[in-house]
Amino acid sequence: MSGACSNAAARTPKPIHVVTTPPEPQPPQLDPFLAAVLAHSRETIVVADREGRVRWSSPGAAVLVDGRLLPAVHPEDRREVAGAYRALGGHPGGRCDVSCRVTDGAGGWRLVEVGIANHLDDPEVAGWVTVVREPAGDSASHARLLHRATHDSLTELPNRAALLRHLEAYDDARIAVLFVDLDGFKSINDTLGHAAGDKVLVATAERLRRAMRPGDTVGRLGGDEFVIVASGVERASDAMEIANRIRAAVARPLPLAGRIVRLTASIGIAMGSEDRASALLADADAAMYRAKQAGRDRCELFDAGHTQAIRVASETVLRAALDDDGLAVVFQPIADLRTGMIVAAEAHLRLRGEEGDLVGPAPFVDLAERSGLIVSVGAGLLDQACADARRWDGTIDQVWVSLSTRQLAECRMAGLAESALVHHGLAPERLVVEVDERVLASAGEQAWRNLDDLKDLGVGLCVDDFGNGGASLGYLRRARIDVIKLDRAFVTGLGRDSGDTEVVRAFVGLGEALGLTTAAKGIETAEQAALLTDLGCRLGQGFHFGPPVIAGELITGCSTPT
């Protein structure tokens, strides 16, 4: 695709024309001013109804048929575009962006960006809105941005968004999805630091690439979670053979920080056909947790009945933790990079283990999200965070709390925040709510109402993992964002990868242009902190400033900010 894209970009841009059938019903009449603006716009807009019939299209439009692009899209790119529409079909208010090639009307191809929005539930639109635009900048720059949007910057593997689109568009009826999770990876980060952990992830990615067959896809979801999509797998025994080959590759000794590390992996396997491809990832995830619970370093096939029993048992444990004060809150410091002072702290959930140790969130937060318990869990986190922040008066300015997809869609979310602030006497400006960029990009109308209500309360809003989730500048303005927090993957390459340095510089410049504060996470060294400061980044967090600790330990190590 990349070679063809660069050839297409070298052509002189030609006018774009829309091919449509007579619209049904009659197209809406536009205000003359708006019509004139659209006539001079470089973007093409097509509105299609539920059946795909074009209701309206802007002047000078692209070669769009039925508002779905497919007849005009390069054959190699059609599956991805069709998959984007299918993925959005059940998500009213959902949006996504796809880059693809479309015909230029003269036998060649042009690279364009396509924005797709599902407005089927909006009575004023009642259909699909598709926007086609020319890519900004030269084709090489756009190709780099496209690659970064669809690939994990640390391992260069396809990311979650790319994997999901790949699964939605898969046309092989015999596929296996293998969900791979490294055992004990957290201890490497905790004892050797995130830089060492990143080396493990890069080495694991390379081992997985080499272990797979040509045509299979290896991707990284995040953290220590990898996914393999294997085609042409007819029998469970074939999938188990692939999984055992992966386990053997991961288990090879790995030199790290002057020692030899030996890793193991828990693998979940789900098999199926293209008509249920989107559900395979969740099934493989469930099977992986079964492998974890069975002792780790194992492969497990998805079993719907067994998995449901495990989920019921796990929910029982989680409900008991909620009732018996089994959840704890820890805080990671956030520093002003110019002064080094701790000015804020991000709240994180932990589950109290049987021995009194604190267990990270991965095993239970996903379960809480699926079961709906995340609303209660999140309300408890918010309340405790506000309570501790009130005790920090004169020591730490703000507390930051993350919201999940389900929390943000909860109709009571803004009310819960207001209740916690009032109950603990905490000024609204001392609370910052964080929303992952991927959550923001797919937010529905209730989520937007919550964000508006939170801003009206005076609460700060931060976009977390900025740069990896596909949110547009329009989302930043609509949500009235105060802070963008850069994904830690960009910080890792500072000083070593000129591309990452320039990306950070561009994001900081974007923040300044929009009047936003820029923060960075995953800062491991003084050199990274200094580089970020030089680039104009304002806030930072990471092991260089301290790991997550209980509230009392955080206060002990803080000075009064200036």
Q: What is the pLDDT averaged over residues 47-76?
A: 64
Between the two ends of the chain, the Cα-to-Cα distance in Å is: 52
Would you call 32 helix, strand, or coil by DSSP?
A: helix
Q: What is the pLDDT averaged over residues 405-430?
A: 86
Q: What is the pLDDT averaged over residues 458-471?
A: 80
Q: Which residue has the higher pLDDT, 136 or 239?
A: 239
Dump pLDDT digits (tens) for 260-312. Answer: 888 899 999 988 765 455 578 878 888 888 788 778 888 988 865 545 444 54
Given this model, what pLDDT does residue 472 score?
58
pLDDT at 540 over 80: yes
pLDDT at 367 over 80: no
Q: What is the pLDDT averaged over residues 244-264?
A: 88
pLDDT at 431 over 90: yes
Residue count (the chain): 562
What span, in angstroms and rounded, lies between the C-alpha atoms of 500 and 530? 15
Most confident of 3-7, 75-79, 272-276: 75-79
Given this model, what pLDDT does residue 280 score?
80
- Of 7-21, 134-148, 421-435, which gets the smallest average pLDDT? 7-21
Most confident of 55-69, 351-365, 515-529: 515-529
Q: Position of tokens 């018996």?
A: 324
Closest C-alpha to 436, from 410, 415, 466: 466
Overall fold of domain 314-556: TIM Barrel (3.20.20)
Given this model, what pLDDT does residue 529 score?
93
Q: What is the pLDDT averaged over residues 51-71?
A: 61
Integer CA distances (angstroms), 218 to 95, 149, 190, 278, 292, in order? 25, 16, 27, 16, 21
Q: Which amino acid is at 239?
A: A
Q: What is the pLDDT averaged over residues 123-140?
A: 74
Antiparallel, parallel or unpaired: β 217-222 and 175-182: unpaired
Given this model, what pLDDT does residue 444 score?
76
Q: Which residue has the higher pLDDT, 76 or 396?
A: 396
pLDDT at 11 over 50: no
Dump pLDDT digits (tens) for 370-379. Answer: 555 666 777 8
What span, in angstroms and rounded, lies between the C-alpha atoms of 531 and 559? 23
Given this model, what pLDDT does residue 319 score?
54
Q: Which residue has the higher pLDDT, 487 or 143?
A: 487
Given this model, what pLDDT does residue 549 score?
87
Dump pLDDT digits (tens) for 479-499. Answer: 889 999 988 878 877 877 666
Q: Domain ranges in the chain?
A: 2-148, 151-302, 314-556
Q: Do domains 151-302 and 314-556 have the same CATH topology?
A: no
Dump pLDDT digits (tens) for 190-201. Answer: 778 878 888 999
pLDDT at 345 over 50: yes
Q: How confident is the model at residue 19 (pLDDT cuts 50, 70, 90)?
A: very low
pLDDT at 75 over 80: no
Q: How confident is the model at residue 359 (pLDDT cuts 50, 70, 90)?
A: low
Residue 414 near residue 453, CB atoms below 8 Å: yes
What span, in angstroms and rounded, lies between the C-alpha atoms of 172 and 166? 11
Q: Which amino acid is at 310?
A: I
What span, in angstroms and rounded, lies between the C-alpha atoms of 315 and 309? 10
Tokens standing for 418? 């207001």
Q: What is the pLDDT averaged over residues 126-135?
A: 81
Q: Which residue has the higher pLDDT, 207 or 406?
A: 207
What value does the mean pLDDT of the chain take?
76
pLDDT at 67 over 50: no
Residue 461 near residue 480, CB atoms below 8 Å: yes
Q: Which residue has the higher pLDDT, 414 or 485?
A: 485
Q: How confident is the model at residue 66 (pLDDT cuts 50, 70, 90)?
A: very low
The superfamily in CATH containing domain 151-302 is: Reverse transcriptase/Diguanylate cyclase domain (3.30.70.270)
pTM: 0.51
The sign of the torsion formed by the CA atoms of 46, 47, 50, 53 equals negative
CA angle 211, 213, 216 (to 5 degrees): 105
- Cis peptide bond N-terminal to 361, omega within 30: no
Overall fold of domain 2-148: Beta-Lactamase (3.30.450)
Given this model, what pLDDT does residue 349 score?
80
